[in-house]
Chain A
Amino acid sequence: MKSAVIVFPGSNCDRDLAVALRETTGAEPVMVWHGETSLPDGLDIVGVPGGFSYGDYLRSGAMAARSPVMRAVADAAAKGVAVLGVCNGFQVLTETGLLPGALMRNAGLNFVCRDVDLTVANSQTMFTAKYDDAEAIKIPVAHHDGNYFADEATLDRLEGEGRVAFRYAGAVNGSARAIAGIVNDAGNVLGLMPHPERMIDAAAHGRADGRRLFEGLIEALG
């Protein structure tokens, strides 16, 4: 299983995502600098990490979305490579158009960092195969701009097509229809605000609910 993690100036969860991928795939992920124009051959998973790419200046994820490497990521996604965008990575994926909608400032206006209760909205995606449908899990969030927005028609379509992967079980950031994570129409690109890579070891992190996301993905990719 071969994976890569994209590194933008200002990424700060790149190492955490790499650790999670290393521990679950058993192989060291390739760290890919944002200025690269191509990805390594034979990739199965591309991780777009959390952090503050370009300081979140202008708009979260907006500048990173224009990085040379994102064209290569879009090409890989089109070929079916699994793309996982966490937090700022989710914002980058919406800004590149790989996922619909946008992440706005939290409704409460404050940055929020805590474990949140999530519901697995669709356990049939390649990212959620190790969860049960409607399972209640806990994964931390840490963001200022996690308030998911899309127009009603898009939201209806996301729900109708089973593309909402995770929902918040309580109020967190004002997201439309409590959406915490969505997949693209082909099902191989997931963007989510919670940080599964921060909850992969029950002893250190309290729970390991995030680990199953990686394990499920690896199993699905076979």
Chain B
Amino acid sequence: MTNAPAITAEIVAQHGLSPEEYERVLASMGREPNLTELGIFSVMWSEHCSYKSSRIHLKKLPTEAPWVICGPGENAGVIDIGDGQAAIFKMESHNHPSYIEPYQGAATGVGGILRDVFTMGARPVANLNALRFGRPDHPKMRHLIAGVVHGIGGYGNCVGVPTVGGEVNFHPSYDGNILVNAMTVGIADQDKIFYSAASGIGNSIVYVGSKTGRDGIHGATMASAEFDEKSDEKRPTVQVGDPFTEKLLIEACLELMASDAIVAIQDMGAAGLTSSSVEMASKGGVGIELDMNAVPQRETGMTPYEMMLSESQERMLMVLKPGREDFAEAIFRKWELDFAVIGTVTDTGRMVLNWNGETVADIPLGPLADEAPLYDRPTATKDEYKAWAGVKPLGDIPESTDFAADLLKLMASPDIASRRWIWEQYDHMVGADTVQRPGGDAAVVRVHGTQKGLAMSTDCTPRYCYADPYEGGKQAVAECYRNLSAVGATPLAITNCLNFASPQRPEIMAQLTGCLEGMGDACRALDFPIVSGNVSLYNESKATGGGNAILPTPAIGGVGLLADWSTSATIAFKAEGEDVFILGHSYRHLGQSLWLREIAGLEGRDAGAPPPVDLATERANGTLVRSLIADGVLTAAHDCSDGGAAVAIAEMALAGGIGADIEAVAEAGAPTPLLFGEDQGRYIVTTAQGDILAARAAAADISVIRIGRVGGDALRFDLQATATTAIIPLADLRRAHEGFFPALMGADAALA
């Protein structure tokens, strides 16, 4: 056995292992590991790969429903969408690399999540993302925004998968640690779904895709530590993406998958060859032996340590049926990709690596995967968290003094302003199946060649999650449910991407467990299980001088099904004279609203409790909205979220290019809490059949109030409580709404 440097405490620390964890390594090996073996332990036991701080809490999430084919644990979640077809999807973070090198970080985030989906046999049909940036005027932010957007576009556009939706927030807590979460949705035939468990002693283990280089070594370990002042020096740990090769890999894999040659397949993502081979072998309960000399290499002189820890992109590992190697190789050669048999499946339960005629690693698989460390980290109690977060009850809030000015300001504010500048840089139409484009509540993509449509949306309101993790966790799921319902889709399942700061702080653990508890309750109440997910911890940075933890950001990506995509509703006002209704009860809850933050200057601790979510109401209201859409009663629907009913109405007017007279505000009292409050479970809808709507709502015991009529080229709010009428021309509204990103990013943003 080659023995390079002896393993010192310093080397152990450099590999991100604690002294206790190293003791476990010694115990499971029964001897001192060599450097290659230590490297393998370090990546497998990193937070990123092992979920060691979150695993015991994730187990509490609901993951089952009759339509769930495969829940968490595989590369992505799989749900039944009828006719023998399945939707396969997952969301994943690429936060740390994107802060260090935004273009490549974001690009490879897209590449990685695409591989998670097509490795299971699905053709990717849509990408979405959830992005969080710091203060728009932070000196680094334009560079980060431009890099991330160009990276997502550069990769997604080239592979030819439309980027159809997403969300963006700005908050100072992300100044030194932006979040880039990418989601892919794919479609497969249910009898052609591929899993990762290796089997068949003696079967060939095959490497396909790009060659292995020295990029991304220790990426998973880097992604499992907080940033310090020297984080820029970690740039060499960021991988470099090649979307062209990914496109070839998609086509080659799908071509091979049409045959019966594959036993198991797994992409090489975080921790590259190490985690893919360990996961395949441990899931299959077998062993694995690899010939490191056979690994296709981009550079000369690479060591087994480097090859095992490289995160070079666009690579896959497969177990093939005996005798099918030549058949498979021909397909990959046609697509001009590397193909190499690099090992065999064994019955030893160990991972053995050979190189230059020597065994350079020999590790029992159990300790690497299933028996990896598991921590029940100290967690602050709810009361302790409340005291720490220090969110004060909301006192008396002044009424809006200039309703029109408030609405214009909100529409121009960073969290509400039009995202057109972003999504026009993404090819959101390739495939010609995007029947609802970005800008609505949810994107809708046709299932190619059928009448079915998949609706998808990403959602989370981090400021709610900070103020009340439990309610915030519920709200993220509920808003996703609402967005899918608003286009008429039946919400089926979600993926989550849990972005939090350091789990070694009890308050952060309280955020994580609180959000998960809320999320779990919401999923159960809404029949909306979690089928896949990802956890990203240590999202905090001393780079900005503060020791800044991000807001808790458990992003949700949801998928819903429309039996007939052509029945889906959009947010746009359709026709003059149609009535505008608000569906769902308004409690006038202003706490944590964007009106408070942008207009009254109250946020965080000073902005009170977030709006509570009543899950039974959420479900009932969503069910009613979906049935009204299916029956053609509604002509437009839009959920009320950031900025409340007023912003929802304004977005509907802009989307349709028609104004509205909002009349019936007076009877509800003061306009600010009604129109700017962010009460949950509400939709603004339009109809030409107000009687039917009223009757259907009454039958379901759901509040629906007519508040006005579509028409004109302005929004008119008749504010009887203050005896004034606010008139906002659509042109002014559009200027405000469309102005933020172009003003921030400017014509030279491509060079930022």
Contacts and interface: CB of A to CB of B under 8 A. Distances in A.
Interface of A: 9-10, 12-13, 15-16, 19-20, 50-52, 54-57, 108-114, 140, 142, 144, 195, 197-198, 200, 203-205
A203 B570 CA distance: 13
B747 A197 contact: no
A109 B750 CA distance: 6
B750 A16 contact: no
Given A12-B159, A108-B750, 17 more contacts: A9-B247, A13-B160, A15-B431, A20-B432, A51-B160, A52-B243, A52-B244, A110-B424, A110-B425, A111-B154, A111-B426, A198-B429, A198-B432, A204-B432, A204-B566, A205-B432, A205-B435
B446 to A, nearest CB: 7
Contacts of A144: 157
A16 B449 CA distance: 12
Nearest to B242: A55
A111 B247 CA distance: 19
A112 B427 CA distance: 8
Nearest to B446: A204
Contacts of B430: 12-13, 16, 50, 142, 198
Closest 6 pairs (CB-CB, A-B)? A12-B160, A55-B244, A109-B750, A52-B158, A142-B427, A16-B432
A113 B248 contact: no
A51 B423 CA distance: 18
Interface string B118-143: 00000000000000000000000000
Contacts of A9: 244, 247-248, 335-336
B432 A108 contact: no
Contacts of A13: 160, 430
A55 B159 CA distance: 9
Contacts of B446: 204
Contacts of A113: 157, 423-429
Interface in B555-571: 565-566
Chain B CB count within 10 A is highest, among A10, A12, A197, for: A12
Nearest to B158: A52
B32 interface: no
B747 A108 contact: yes
B752 to A, nearest CB: 11
Contact of A56 (B158, B424, B427): B158
A140 B432 CA distance: 11
B702 to A, nearest CB: 31
Nearest to A53: B244
Interface string B227-255: 00000000000000011110110000000
Interface in B398-448: 423-433, 435, 446
A51 B429 CA distance: 12
B6 interface: no
B747 A55 contact: no
29 contacts: A9-B244, A9-B247, A9-B248, A9-B335, A10-B158, A10-B244, A12-B160, A13-B430, A16-B430, A16-B432, A50-B430, A51-B160, A52-B157, A52-B243, A52-B247, A55-B158, A55-B244, A55-B245, A108-B747, A109-B750, A110-B150, A111-B153, A111-B154, A111-B426, A111-B427, A140-B429, A142-B429, A204-B446, A205-B435
B751 interface: yes
Chain A CB count within 10 A is highest, among B157, B430, B435, for: B430
Given A9-B248, A57-B244, A140-B429, A204 B160 contact: no
Contacts of A195: 429
A151 B262 CA distance: 54
A203 B566 contact: yes
Contacts of B424: 110, 112-114
Contacts of A108: 747, 750
A13 B425 CA distance: 17
B16 to A, nearest CB: 35
A63 to B, nearest CB: 10
Contacts of B565: 204
A110 B745 CA distance: 11
Contacts of B242: 55
Interface string B247-288: 110000000000000000000000000000000000000000
Chain B CB count within 10 A is highest, among A112, A113, A114, A197, for: A113
A23 to B, nearest CB: 11
Contacts of B159: 12
B254 to A, nearest CB: 12
A197 B432 CA distance: 8
Chain B CB count within 10 A is highest, among A9, A56, A57, for: A9
A110 B427 contact: no
Contact of A110 (B158, B160, B433, B750): B750
B104 to A, nearest CB: 15
Given A113-B424, A198-B432, A142 B244 contact: no
B102 to A, nearest CB: 15
A12 to B, nearest CB: 2
A111 B335 contact: no
A168 B27 CA distance: 70
